[in-house]
Chains A and B, each alone.
Chain A
């Protein structure tokens, strides 16, 4: 099957950790790295109904990634990629956060998935 265009505009370094995933027919990959006590990017924008693959890595220790609104959670283990595939089926802003206690600042380790209609 001919690979369709996957465009992930990595705006993170320019605008403070924001990634926007443009239209795609195959799952688009979004890379998110974790370290105490932040995700980078910490704001990700996707389209409702478009499958997404989150590629999660850790720079320091085991962190968690939990997004209850979509029933997602996984450990993020240093030295390996953790891939989470899902299709956001509803528009809105949804939080994700670390659910593996990682120290003084753990409670602030979170981000937002923006799902556009």
Chain B
């Protein structure tokens, strides 16, 4: 593939948006990163199956975002979906229909290394049973170009807990890491108390953060709150992604966490492209590429 500088390919793709540069891996030496930079794309909260005034375009928004990501001149190494793939339903058969259709739509992604995790809409009513049928485990790890990725499930328990068993699994995994290993965590809900009275938290998320704290190079990417958000607990950064169905208000900006009014230009929706190197660059991608 022709080498294209990152800033150039974003410009060429017409998707350059606000870039957030964070101090990811601040304790790593630059030399250790040489030649290992990569990027991935994060989708979140696609809520396939939603129907309502918050997004009259709901049947097409995901397909548009897939097309936009397919149009990136430099395709990501992998793509991750951080939960709420589907909108909830009490009907188990309909839940599976939605997951099936979701899977069909995202199968159009050019990148075939795609990682999934559930949100509460996918997994909280059946403890992840349907999700596992379609997408596999709800928590797991993988490694890519020197980075250890940990996917945490804080939604299969409807009370938004990781649970002691998963926390023990996390502790065992982290024991195999060195203090300066590069670790990226994917999860659906915020692990910290972003807005407890809006239920934007994980009941036992503090225990996970405590386990991660001894490691010097940790960053968390999550969804659930349907908006970009950047937060730090100690040296651990937490970056929330936009949704592809409807934006929610900034924490505490209005009395209730009701969706923001629909805007056909979809400024509050999108995916994000994440460059992983010595530092991290998060570029918010729109649903549809401009002109």
Among residues 54 to 85 in chain A, which have CB atoms less than 8 Å away from a CB atom of chain B? 62, 64, 66, 68-69, 75
Set of chain B residues within 8 Å of A68, measured between Cβ atoms: 196-197
Tally of A interface residues using CB under 8 Å: 17
Number of A-B contacts (CB under 8 A): 38
Among residues 160 to 211 in chain B, which have CB atoms less than 8 Å away from a CB atom of chain A? 160, 196-197, 199, 203
B residues engaging A (CB < 8 A)?
Answer: 87-90, 120, 124-125, 155, 158-160, 196-197, 199, 203, 256-257
10 sample A-B contacts, Cβ–Cβ < 8 Å, listed by A number: A66-B199, A68-B197, A99-B159, A99-B160, A101-B124, A102-B125, A102-B158, A103-B89, A103-B90, A107-B257
Measured CB to CB, the closest approach of chain B to A56, in angstroms, equals 15
Set of chain B residues within 8 Å of A69, measured between Cβ atoms: 197
Q: Is the CB of B87 within 8 A of A104?
A: yes
Set of chain B residues within 8 Å of A101, measured between Cβ atoms: 88, 120, 124-125, 155, 158, 160
Residue of B89, B160, B199, B257 with most chain A CB atoms under a 10 A cut-off: B199
Is A97 part of the contact surface with B, judged by Cβ < 8 Å?
yes
Q: Is the CB of B88 within 8 A of A104?
A: yes
Q: Is the CB of B88 within 8 A of A103?
A: yes
Q: How far is the CA of A100 from the CA of B257 in the complex (A)?
A: 17
Interface membership of chain A positions 86-116, coded 1 if the CB is closer than 8 angstroms to chain B and 0 otherwise: 0000000001010111111011001000000
Set of chain A residues within 8 Å of B197, measured between Cβ atoms: 68-69, 95, 97
Set of chain B residues within 8 Å of A99, measured between Cβ atoms: 159-160, 199, 203
Set of chain B residues within 8 Å of A104, measured between Cβ atoms: 87-90
Measured CB to CB, the closest approach of chain A to B290, in angstroms, equals 32
B195 nearest CB neighbor, chain A only: A68
Set of chain A residues within 8 Å of B89, measured between Cβ atoms: 103-104
Q: How far is the CA of A64 from the CA of B197 in the complex (A)?
A: 13
Set of chain B residues within 8 Å of A64, measured between Cβ atoms: 159
Measured CB to CB, the closest approach of chain A to B197, in angstroms, equals 5
Q: How far is the CA of A104 from the CA of B98 in the complex (A)?
A: 14
B87 nearest CB neighbor, chain A only: A104
Q: How far is the CA of A66 from the CA of B159 in the complex (A)?
A: 11
Set of chain B residues within 8 Å of A97, measured between Cβ atoms: 197, 199
Q: How far is the CA of A110 from the CA of B120 in the complex (A)?
A: 18
Measured CB to CB, the closest approach of chain B to A40, in angstroms, equals 19
Please list the 7 inter-chain residue pairs (A to B) with the smallest Cβ-Cβ separation, ordered nearest first. Answer: A101-B124, A68-B196, A101-B158, A101-B120, A100-B158, A68-B197, A104-B88
